[in-house]
């Protein structure tokens, strides 16, 4: 733990150079209370159409990240999620986002790392990946986007377009040429003749080359959905299901929830940032086991407040094939399955008997692993246990991609 913190401290000093904030978050004066980035100097151009939302930083109940969405001129689901450089903040990036949204005809979403702009916390290498996952999950949840709608623009493992100015006085162009040579997924690079470190975006070649690259990648992504797409959709569903169960079963006051749209349905979602962050972080821990195929079941358990006995268990059993989804049609089929499962879950939870006051809850995952070696010890004869009631919610198998079962296990009624 000490070594990890030391590495974070050293890497943070070397890798992150947050500028003096160039903006503050303010409300528009038009009465709808929408938030935007208000420039703190005349040198920063105001982009009023950039709408601000707050996303809880991963693993933190006290820090919030600033996320800005600049919409395309015409409604579209196509969205770029951009992670900016290490020496700028959103105030400086918004004019470029507005230009990209206009020229590329897509929505552009950017966010400030911890300690940048108005985002809370301190920047650290160990939190960047978790935070961008939190922003990505919020984008899918709030905008109703699928993985195929979103292009991740930043430092990621993906097809890579290297863009570098030949007159870069900060990082010589030779570094860019080396990256283009060593990167296994690099496409044809763009060398901007005469451009320095901070003005490659001003070149008339920049936007057309970027547009061609993104168009080709979006088309390839739509034609070949992957296991990652399946995992993202499952995590989005289970996160929404957890919120819906907590609301319907009265684990918290009704006024602590708000209604949102998912799969074309009205679903309940908690308002409290700490609760939202706790659920989101717990589910992100399931990502790796799901990708590896060693997480067959995730469960939400509701317990008696005094006896700590189990009252209800909501279980999602999944089996993902190695090939993922075979086509865009399979993605649509999976969305239809998840919509049906959410609808049936809503009906099931509202039909159950009320829980005791102050019931508690926890989440649990079953992860497969090797059987431990141990000496055989004769066990006592098991005592007969009452059989719990099982309520099936949804069971489906999509050939070649996914098998899914959602069910509720109720505590048995023991005769006096």
Neighbours of 411 (CB within 10 A): 16
Residues 252 and 196 in one domain: no
Out of 205, 223, 241, pick the residue that ends a domain: 223
pLDDT given for residue 148 in this prediction = 78
Instruction: Return the beta strands (E) in 77-229 as ranges.
Output: 79-83, 107-111, 150-153, 163-165, 190-192
Instruction: Return the beta strands (E) in 271-346 as ranges.
Output: 297-303, 310-320
Out of 189, 223, 257, pick the residue that ends a domain: 223
Residues 233 and 287 in one domain: yes
pTM recorded for the entire structure: 0.50
- Dist CA 311 CA 212 (whole Å): 55
Residues 204 and 314 in one domain: no
- Domain coverage including residue 240: 227-368+388-410
Residues 178 and 42 in one domain: yes
Chunked mean pLDDT (size 10), the chain, 416 residues: 40 66 88 86 90 90 92 91 89 92 92 94 83 89 82 69 92 91 84 91 89 78 65 86 93 90 87 84 80 82 86 88 60 82 92 89 79 48 62 76 80 52
pLDDT given for residue 301 in this prediction = 92
pLDDT given for residue 415 in this prediction = 42
pLDDT given for residue 15 in this prediction = 61
Specify the pairing of strand 360-366 against strand 389-398: unpaired
pLDDT given for residue 252 in this prediction = 92
| Domain containing residue 67: CATH number | 3.40.50.1820
Tell whether 7 is covered by a domain.
no
Tell whether 382 is covered by a domain.
no
The 10s digit of each residue's pLDDT in 67-118 is 999 999 988 989 999 998 888 899 999 999 999 999 888 999 999 999 999 9
Residues 170 and 264 in one domain: no
Q: 27 CB contacts (<8 Å, ≥6 apart)? A: 33, 34, 35, 36
The 10s digit of each residue's pLDDT in 129-148 is 889 989 998 888 888 888 77
The gap between the terminal CA atoms of the chain, to the nearest Å, is 51
| Domain containing residue 237: CATH number | 3.30.900.10
Q: Residue 3: in which H helix or E strand, if any?
A: helix 2-15
- Dist CA 408 CA 348 (whole Å): 9
Q: How many domains does the chain have?
A: 2
């Amino acid at each position: 733990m000490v070594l990890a913190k030391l590495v974070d401290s050293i890497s943070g000093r070397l890798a992150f150079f947050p500028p003096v904030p160039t903006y503050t978050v303010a409300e528009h004066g038009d009465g709808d209370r929408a938030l935007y980035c208000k420039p703190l100097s005349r040198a920063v151009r105001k982009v009023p159409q950039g709408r601000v939302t707050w996303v809880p930083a991963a693993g933190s109940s006290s820090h919030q990240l600033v996320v800005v969405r600049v919409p395309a001129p015409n409604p579209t689901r196509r969205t770029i999620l951009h992670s900016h450089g290490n020496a700028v903040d959103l105030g400086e990036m918004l004019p470029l986002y507005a230009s990209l949204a206009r020229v590329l005809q897509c929505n552009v979403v950017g966010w400030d790392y911890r300690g940048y702009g108005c985002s809370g916390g301190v920047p650290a290498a160990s939190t960047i990946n978790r935070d961008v996952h939190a922003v990505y999950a919020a984008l899918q949840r709030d905008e109703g986007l699928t993985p195929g709608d979103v292009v991740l623009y930043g430092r990621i493992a993906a097809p890579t377009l290297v863009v570098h100015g030949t007159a870069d006085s900060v990082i010589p162009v030779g570094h860019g040429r080396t990256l283009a040579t060593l990167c296994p997924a690099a496409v044809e690079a763009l060398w901007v003749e005469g451009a320095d470190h901070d003005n490659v975006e001003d070149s008339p070649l920049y936007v057309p080359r970027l547009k061609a690259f993104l168009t080709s990648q979006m088309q390839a992504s739509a034609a070949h959905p992957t296991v990652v797409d399946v995992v993202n959709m499952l995590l989005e569903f289970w996160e929404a299901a957890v919120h819906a169960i907590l609301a319907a079963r009265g684990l918290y006051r009704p006024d602590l929830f708000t209604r949102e749209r998912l799969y074309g349905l009205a679903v309940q979602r908690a308002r409290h940032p700490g609760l939202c962050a706790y659920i989101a972080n717990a589910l992100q821990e399931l990502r790796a086991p799901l990708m590896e195929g060693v997480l067959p079941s995730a469960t939400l358990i509701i317990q008696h407040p005094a006896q700590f006995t189990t009252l209800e268990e909501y279980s999602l059993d999944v089996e993902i094939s190695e090939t993922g989804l075979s086509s865009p049609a399979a993605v649509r089929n999976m969305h239809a399955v998840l919509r049906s499962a959410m609808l049936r879950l809503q009906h099931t939870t509202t039909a159950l008997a009320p829980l005791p006051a102050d019931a508690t809850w926890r989440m649990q995952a079953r992860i497969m692993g090797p059987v431990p070696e141990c000496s055989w010890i004769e066990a006592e004869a098991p005592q007969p246990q009452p059989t719990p009631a099982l309520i099936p919610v949804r069971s489906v198998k999509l050939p070649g991609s996914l098998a899914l079962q959602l069910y509720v296990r109720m505590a048995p009624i023991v005769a006096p």
